Amino acid sequence: MSITDLQMLFKFIGGLGMFLYGMNAMADGLQKSAGHRMQQLLGALTKNRLMGVILGAGITAIIQSSSATTVMVVGFVNAGIMNLGQAVGIIMGANIGTTVTSWIVSMSEWGEMLKPEFFAPALVGVGAVMTLFCKNSKKKQAGEILVGFGVLFIGLTFMSASITPYRDAPIFAQAFTVLGRNPFLGILAGAAVTGIIQSSSASVGILQTLALNGIVNWQSAIFITLGQNIGTCVTALISSVGANKTAKQAAGIHLLFNTVGAVIFGIVMYLIFKLNPVFASSTISSVEISIFHTVFNVSNTILLFPFAGLLVKASSFMIRDSKKGKEETKGSQMERHLDERILETPSFAIENATQEVINMGKAALENFDIATAALLDNSRAEAEQVEKLEAKINQYEKILTSYLVKINNQSLNEEQHLLVKNLFYTVSNFERVSDHCENLSELAVEKADKNIVFSVDAAGEMKEMIKTVRSALEHAINARGGAGMSEVRAVVQSEESVDMLEEELRERHIERLSSHKCTPENGIVFLEALSNLERISDHAHNIAGFVRDEM
């Protein structure tokens, strides 16, 4: 290999690297710009299958990867958020959404002014200035998208330039002739390349780069493209390892859908090429690859959409339950819900984490009810329940904190970073609420051991305090759940009432102690209970404050 050949190889590798990096940077910028709109799409998952197709196409167009979308779907199914019927629609839509990248790649054939070498440097320049000097987060995100576009096109230019000197080389003509004549080899080649680089968008981009230089014929391009659609299933199949049976079925549906489509279109195109060999051996352009890629994926979806139920049934025959598989899925529902596959789309991961934080809050509220009942009734049995629930809440904190750290390491916009930070603090506050509940249960045990009974007045005052604190905690959980400023204001009002009530009840109890209406032992338990209840109200106020900061 000569120095020139080595230089061209490096140029191609560098171009491919820039193409992949640009596509990733563009997708990150688009995700940040989409922000909460991506979270709102989560609600559409409960709609009909046609909505799933639209949703799958939309998400894939944003994140620029059908593999990532399907991996996320596997995560949703594994977490129990989505059933297989809903998954089928999104998987079908993802194949349509991935065609966006091929149209971006083929832009250079649309006209002279759309050639990458013409406008890509300007995109990078403008995008870099916006990213570095604009203070507005939206403008920064727009800059990231422009830089991604620019680098992607510059990468394409590098790849094309590295291939141009060899477009008349016999090896290319021979290779594509062989792949074209043998559909199995063409499909296998497309699947293998895509499986290795884990991106159908990138492998289609490489094929289109070769087509730009006029060295790819129709029959080889068609079969390779069909193979690329099968190869993109590899990522989801790998991702489903260790998931439950249903999640594995989702990956199986992806493989079935793409394989059945490839077989049907492969047979049709093989017959067309046999009838028209001149057309089969003619060169294909980058735009024509985009057209076929789009027609294939849209037609395949229309063709197989009515048979979605059959795909689900077929996947159940492919994936069987095993003893090992059952053991793999023994983790808690929360651990399954916070599936790492969903991190592929941070907005959805944030939505899931938020829901689990709310669930943690509800567990803390349940612990509050049990602890306060134990305190009033001197119940050892209820105090033991508090300890068990406290252990569960501690587990909540550990798992949620770990997951939020992973989310925080993803590409987030400023609003999402603030939300994740506040979720960290909220988790900590709910855990502290549960700690105070444990303190209350310990006081309940002390009351039972020492046969301490509150006076009628003291018991009535304690019930009033408990009711007010519970109101603050419940409103805080509702506020975190998205109920709005009315719930935040309700927490503030309850907190003010708790502070005034605590001060008033302390004074009354000290008066009872002074007049010997209450024993010192009773007094210590009563005052410590008041202190713990007041601290729980403070934590509720903190949680509401985080929600207010986000509005």
pLDDT in tens, 156-203: 778 777 766 756 566 655 666 677 678 888 888 888 888 877 777 777
Q: Does the structure show a pLDDT above 70 at 116?
A: no
Q: How distant is the alpha carbon of residue 334 from its chain centre?
A: 15
Percent of the chain at pLDDT > 70 equals 87
Residue with tokens 């985009």: 290
Q: Does the structure show a pLDDT above 50 at 139?
A: yes
CA distance 240 to 540: 39
Q: Does the structure show a pLDDT above 50 at 324?
A: no
pLDDT, mean of residues 82-101 = 84
Look at residue 35 in the predicted model and tell me its pLDDT.
58
Kindly indicate the confidence band of residue 115, based on its pLDDT and cuts at 50, 70 and 90: low
Domain boundaries, the chain: 11-319, 345-549
Kindly indicate the confidence band of residue 63, based on its pLDDT and cuts at 50, 70 and 90: confident
345's CB contacts (< 8 A; 6+ apart) are 31, 38, 59, 63, 68, 69, 72
Look at residue 332 in the predicted model and tell me its pLDDT.
57
Residue with tokens 């979605």: 308
* Own/partner long-range contacts of 377-384 (Cβ < 8 Å, ≥24 apart): 377/444, 378/444, 378/447, 378/448, 378/452, 378/453, 379/444, 379/448, 380/444, 380/445, 380/448, 382/441, 382/444, 383/441, 383/442, 383/444, 383/445, 383/448
Kindly indicate the confidence band of residue 402, based on its pLDDT and cuts at 50, 70 and 90: very high
pLDDT, mean of residues 262-289 = 90
Look at residue 317 in the predicted model and tell me its pLDDT.
82
Q: Does the structure show a pLDDT above 70 at 130?
A: yes
CA distance 258 to 516: 83
| DSSP-assigned letters across all residues of 398-414 | HHHHHHHHHHHTS---H
Percent of the chain at pLDDT > 90 equals 27
Give ∠ CA 209-17-126 in degrees, rounded to 5: 90
Q: Helix or strand or coil: residue 82?
A: coil
Residue 504 DSSP one-character state:
H
Look at residue 525 in the predicted model and tell me its pLDDT.
85
Look at residue 330 in the predicted model and tell me its pLDDT.
41
Q: Are 522 and 452 in contact (CB under 8 A)?
A: yes
CA dihedral of residues 74, 75, 81, 83 (deg, nearest 10):
10
pLDDT, mean of residues 284-298 = 90
Q: Are 352 and 342 in contact (CB under 8 A)?
A: yes
User: What mean pLDDT is reported for the chain?
Assistant: 83
pLDDT, mean of residues 415-444 = 92
Residue 283 DSSP one-character state:
B
Least confident of 189-203, 379-393, 426-440: 189-203
CA distance 436 to 440: 6
Q: Does the structure show a pLDDT above 80 at 450?
A: yes
Look at residue 322 in the predicted model and tell me its pLDDT.
53
Query: Which class is 345-549 in CATH?
Result: mainly alpha
Q: What residues are paired with 283 via a beta bridge?
A: 217
Give ∠ CA 351-355-360 in degrees, rounded to 5: 145
Q: Helix or strand or coil: residue 444?
A: helix
Q: Are 544 and 492 in contact (CB under 8 A)?
A: yes
The larger pLDDT score, comparing residue 532 to residue 31, is at: 532
Look at residue 52 in the predicted model and tell me its pLDDT.
82
Q: How distant is the alpha carbon of residue 25 from its chain centre?
A: 17
Q: Helix or strand or coil: residue 47?
A: coil
Look at residue 357 in the predicted model and tell me its pLDDT.
93
Record the tokens describing residue 495, joined without a space: 């907190």
Q: Does the structure show a pLDDT above 70 at 310?
A: yes
CA distance 465 to 444: 16
CA distance 242 to 399: 18
Record the tokens describing residue 331, joined without a space: 């983790």
Closest CA to 532 of 367, 315, 304, 359: 367
Look at residue 170 in the predicted model and tell me its pLDDT.
62
> For 241-254, what is each residue's pLDDT tens digit?
777 788 888 888 88
Look at residue 491 in the predicted model and tell me its pLDDT.
92
Look at residue 213 in the predicted model and tell me its pLDDT.
77
Look at residue 325 in the predicted model and tell me its pLDDT.
45
Distances, alpha carbon 343 to alpha carbons 3, 75, 335, 412, in Å: 43, 9, 13, 11
Look at residue 88 in the predicted model and tell me its pLDDT.
87
Q: Does the structure show a pLDDT above 60 at 400?
A: yes
**Element containing residue 16 per DSSP (H, E):** helix 3-34
Look at residue 536 in the predicted model and tell me its pLDDT.
94
Least confident of 78-82, 173-177, 198-202, 207-211: 173-177
The larger pLDDT score, comparing residue 315 to residue 370, is at: 370
Look at residue 211 in the predicted model and tell me its pLDDT.
83
Closest CA to 367 of 391, 348, 349: 391
